[in-house]
Amino acid sequence: MNDGLLPRRYAKALYKLAVERGDDKVIYDQLRELTFRDTSVDLLKRVVMNPEISPEKKGAVILQYIGGKPGSSLDEFLLMVIKNNRANMLSAIGWCYLQLYREAHNIANVEIVTASELPSPEVEQIIALVKKRLGDVTLEITQQVDPQLIGGFTVTINDLQLDASVRNELRQLRLHLLNK
């Protein structure tokens, strides 16, 4: 079965359970904590993938990491996923859940990456342009600094990216010169 399809099915099941129990927002917040880009998550992944550790202990470790409660919808779900030998898909399931929640609640995930710290008025200007483009949508904004951009910025809205960086301009110029 497709690795993209299976995590989405698990995420849909979790979302349905969470909505029925009224804790979809709590689970959303907990899964947002578990960003899977964080280096401490590497340790968590090693625990989850370790066959020597019981499924109950694995679930407890994840739950503790994200601040969840034993007996919650997320606890039951994690235990079921781990017992079904799908622990390797937890990251993908988490991302799918976040996507489902955002779709259902009209939330756009916006990531602004700049070459250096931008003054607040410039950041607010970028955010205003995004709001104008998207209309009546709640924005979840994260900002990062990436000196490799050289200058300019990138804005990623859900899966769409606007790249207004110097690095991108240089890449485009290089491609143009190579094609001549």
- Residue closest to 13 by CA, chosen among 119, 84, 111, 63: 84
Residue 35 has pLDDT above 70, yes or no: no
Domain end among 71, 103, 135: 103
Residues 66 and 80 in one domain: yes
Which SS3 state, helix, strand or coil, does residue 145 take? strand
Residues 50 and 97 in one domain: yes
- Residue closest to 91 by CA, chosen among 52, 51, 49, 56: 49
Domain end among 103, 119, 137: 103
**Tally of domains within the chain:** 2
Domain membership of residue 93 as a residue range: 5-103
Q: Provide the pLDDT for residue 118.
A: 87
Residue 137 has pLDDT above 80, yes or no: yes
- Residue closest to 63 by CA, chosen among 87, 34, 92: 34
Sign (positive or negative) of CA dihedral 90, 63, 26, 40: negative
Q: For the segment 114-131, what is each residue's pLDDT rounded down to a tens digit?
A: 999 989 999 899 899 899
Q: DSSP alpha helices (H): ranges in the chain?
A: 5-21, 24-33, 40-49, 55-66, 73-83, 90-104, 120-134, 166-179
Asked which of 12-16, 79-83, 109-113, 174-178 is least confident by mean pLDDT, the reply is: 79-83
Sign (positive or negative) of CA dihedral 147, 113, 67, 53: negative
Look over the chain and give the mean of its residue pLDDT values, rounded to a whole number: 86
**Model pTM score:** 0.78
Residues 68 and 153 in one domain: no
Model confidence at 164, pLDDT cuts 50, 70, 90, reads: confident
Give the percent of the chain with pLDDT over 90: 41
User: Is residue 85 within 8 Å of 6, Cβ to Cβ?
Assistant: no
Model confidence at 3, pLDDT cuts 50, 70, 90, reads: low
Residues 97 and 22 in one domain: yes
- What gap in Å lies between CA 159 and CA 22, rounded to an integer? 28
User: Is residue 131 within 8 Å of 163, Cβ to Cβ?
Assistant: no
User: Is residue 138 within 8 Å of 108, Cβ to Cβ?
Assistant: yes
Residues 111 and 67 in one domain: no
